Amino acid sequence: MSKLSAAFTSGKAFIPFIVAGDPDKDSTVNNIVAMANAGADIIELGIPFSDPVADGPVIQAGDLRAFAGGISVDGIFDIVATARKQTARPIVFLTYANIPFKYGYDKFCKRCSELGVAGLVIPDLPYEEQDEIRPFTKKYGLDLIMLITLNSGDRVAKLAESAEGFIYVVSSEGITGERDEFDQRLAGLFAEIKAHTNVPAALGFGIHTPQQARDLSRFADGIIVGSAIVELAAQYGSKAAPEIGKYTAAMKAAIK
Ligand SMILES: O=P(O)(O)OC[C@@H](O)[C@@H](O)c1c[nH]c2ccccc12
């Protein structure tokens, strides 16, 4: 079984997101280790990008802090290598398609597999263009994470059937960021996905409170949170690890 799918076997999974290099490499390592020690089941590490079309203001600000700290893709690989000495928890990259393309698909995926990065979430990679990178994710044993939204319509079946690791269900239209209400149709979307695959499906976009996480995990196999954590990184800077750890523990406890 894929390492990512296995992270869902002992209950609901909590999947926190941070921006790599926000505000520097050492802090990112500390934040990864804090989230792992606090019970994160998978860690989603964002590779900052100059044109992050799906990122809301909180994550864009994290990207800018990371750029100001001089982050690079190789610097991000260094972060993972250092974190790996302290935790074996699965890591996935959230990356826009241009980054592995420019780095070179083969070299990028090879480096990921050497460091134990288990999968890639590529929000701007259309289903029809997956074939460009899939030979390389396959070659190096990485899971290519499918994104499914309420607007996926009749593509839900083929997306679910080609899924590996886990499925990222996007809760809402638009950009990342905290929300107070969620679409009533989400439970039905999960049911539809489950009719096509046994690959676990996690929900992200807008979730920030333990109560929301608890409610939504009635039908979602996992809960993904980004902006609320990146906000802690903004507030506490290089001293954010204990705060991020506390938040992770509270969210994990809510969905257990
Ligand atoms: O920030 P939120 O609303 O908690 O959503 C998670 C999200 O940040 C993270 O998974 C993510 C960051 N950038 C993205 C771009 C597309 C899809 C998802 C993401």
Inside any domain, residue 29: yes
Locate tokens 């990008």: which residue? 49
Identify whether 183 is part of a domain: no
142-171 pLDDT tens trace: 999 999 999 999 999 999 999 999 999 999
CATH code of the domain containing 217 = 3.20.20.70
> Which is the closest atom of ligand 1 to the Cα of 123?
16
Q: Note the ipTM here.
A: 0.98
Report the Cα–Cα distance between both ends of the chain, in Å, rounded.
Answer: 22
Based on the structure, what is the number of domains in the chain? Answer: 1
Check if 55 is active-site: yes
pLDDT tens for 19-43 read: 999 999 999 999 999 999 999 999 9
- Mutation to probe ligand 1, out of 59, 167, 171, 178 (largest number of atoms < 8 A from CB): 59
For residue 149, is it within any domain?
A: no
What are the pLDDT tens digits along the chain (256 aa)? Answer: 899 999 999 999 999 999 999 999 999 999 999 999 999 999 999 999 999 999 999 999 999 999 999 999 999 999 999 999 999 999 999 999 999 999 999 999 999 999 999 999 999 998 889 999 999 999 999 999 999 999 999 999 999 999 999 999 999 988 999 999 999 999 999 999 999 999 999 999 999 999 999 999 999 999 999 999 999 999 999 999 999 999 999 999 999 8
Task: Specify the length of the chain in residues.
Answer: 256
Q: CB within 6 Å of ligand 1 — which residues? A: 17, 44, 46, 54-55, 59, 94, 123, 176-177, 204-207, 224-227
Q: Give the torsion sign (CA, 197, 250, 227, 115).
A: negative
The yes-or-no answer on residue 215 being catalytic is: no
Residue-number span of the structural domain to which 10 is assigned: 3-144+204-248
**CA-based angle 198:105:6, to the nearest 5?**
25
In a domain, residue 239? The reply is: yes
In a domain, 110, yes or no: yes
pTM above 0.90, yes or no: yes
CA distances to 156, 185, 195, 197 from 191, in Å: 11, 10, 6, 10
236 is a domain residue = yes
